[in-house]
Amino acid sequence: MTYEFELKHRQTEKSAVVQVKSGWTPLNIDDYDKLDTDIFLFATSGQYHGTPKPNIKTVDPDEIRKFLYEQTHLLPEKMKVWIELTR
């Protein structure tokens, strides 16, 4: 399996897939270029290799952190506790 899960848009029924790597593991964009769908890659290391593609979005870990700290009210209670402990 080359991705964690597949999402499907409620109205358009368009699919997208997500791949996540933790630690210092980088993700190679070229490993996903044969998938004919939108692809979201997230490496906690922020390291992405390969050639950028229009259907592949790499997520900057700082974007995730910013969201977590600015939108804490949207998170489950357990996540809120974790966020407060890391401030």
pLDDT number for residue 84 = 86
* Side-chain half-sphere CA neighbours of 44 within 13 A: 5
- Chain centroid to CA 19: 7
Say if residue 83's pLDDT is above 80.
Answer: yes
* pLDDT digits 0-9 by tens, 15-74: 999 999 999 999 999 999 889 999 999 999 999 999 999 999 999 999 999 999 999 999
User: Distance from first CA to last CA of the chain, Å, rounded?
Assistant: 36
Long-range contacts from 23-28, C-beta under 8 angstroms, 24+ separation: 27/58
Model pLDDT, residue 1: 57
Whether 87 shows a pLDDT value over 90: the answer reads no
